[in-house]
A = this chain, B = another copy of it.
């Protein structure tokens, strides 16, 4: 339903909607190299684990186009540098590494191809990753929608929507699929300080699709649960450890703890590519810290006193025991643990 592309390939360049400007302005920025895409990821033009994966794949494809007239050795050396730059852009979302690994595997399989043939194949792979992302979000949406009753009031945190993916969304994809199946869903969107992805992106995205949405300060989630106004929580994930611990946007952990206290199901919409089977538990997931200015104000407005010390970790870890179920493109894993996740990945 959502009519805006998060990213699109047009006239040989990658275009990404500038998510920092939303919802005030819908603007697409153009990218023609791995370094430029890495900068777009770092500066949060694009964000959301699956969308970052797609952007990184296109970054590799763009670098190959850029180096298409180089001799083979220079091409491979440049590709290595481009992938290193992309890998260094943000630390927490695992889809970045997943996509880079997949692009590298493709490149490794093209050892005998000409440089132009390799470049074409890498672009095809980036298109494939992006196309698959939309399809798997629709499958995830179908599995998740079955968990929602009619007239559900769903709390979400951050933006795990079409804007966080190549389309449809993960957490909001489940909402969209439920609505498509004829269920009424009302979304409560945590504004998601400090970067306000809920206020700026989730609220706007759902408005565009005519899905009822109410914006709240993150601090109001507990009161609404206590008043019996929330039936389920659905969030996305930036990385899922092998034991089911979930790294996601800062504040997700608070929502999970509150949901448990109130007996409200806490669902995590997570594509298989977001599961990191070599990460034993959430304690080892690197947590990005971003600039103090994200907390001391917004845009050109500063409201905190100058010189104040700030901590700005932008992800937290929700332990698996607080997760009612994982929802992937393959189905639903209730009360996830190491054994069930391993079986789900193998299945």
Contact = CB atoms under 8 A, between A and B. Distances in A.
B298 A214 contact: no
A199 B219 CA distance: 14
Interface in A253-300: 253-254, 257-258, 261, 287, 295-296, 298-299
A125 interface: no
B214 A304 contact: no
Interface string A162-205: 00000000000000000000000000100111101001100110
Contact of A303 (B196, B223, B309): B196
Report the copy number of this chain in the oligomer. 2
A220 B258 CA distance: 15
Contacts of A303: 24, 196, 199-200, 298
A63 interface: no
A298 B301 contact: yes
Interface in A220-244: 220-224, 226
A316 interface: yes
A46 to B, nearest CB: 18
Contact of A312 (B196, B220, B257): B220
A316 B23 CA distance: 30
Given A199-B303, A298-B298, A301-B298, A308 B207 contact: yes
A14 interface: no
A131 interface: no
Contacts of A253: 222-223, 226
A12 interface: no
A69 to B, nearest CB: 44
A304 B251 CA distance: 19
Contacts of A331: none
A213 B309 contact: yes
A121 interface: no
Contacts of A23: 304-305
A216 B254 contact: no
A258 B188 CA distance: 21
A214 B309 contact: yes
A3 interface: no
A313 to B, nearest CB: 6
Contacts of A221: 254
B223 A316 contact: yes
- Which residue, A24, A218, A220, A250, has most C-beta atoms of chain B within 10 A? A220
Contact of A216 (B191, B196, B222, B311): B311
Contacts of A188: 311
A24 to B, nearest CB: 8
Interface of A: 23-24, 188, 191-194, 196, 199-200, 203-204, 207, 212-224, 226, 249-251, 253-254, 257-258, 261, 287, 295-296, 298-299, 301, 303-305, 307-313, 316-317
17 contacts: A23-B305, A196-B303, A199-B296, A199-B304, A200-B305, A204-B304, A213-B309, A214-B309, A214-B311, A215-B309, A216-B295, A216-B311, A217-B250, A219-B250, A219-B316, A222-B316, A257-B257
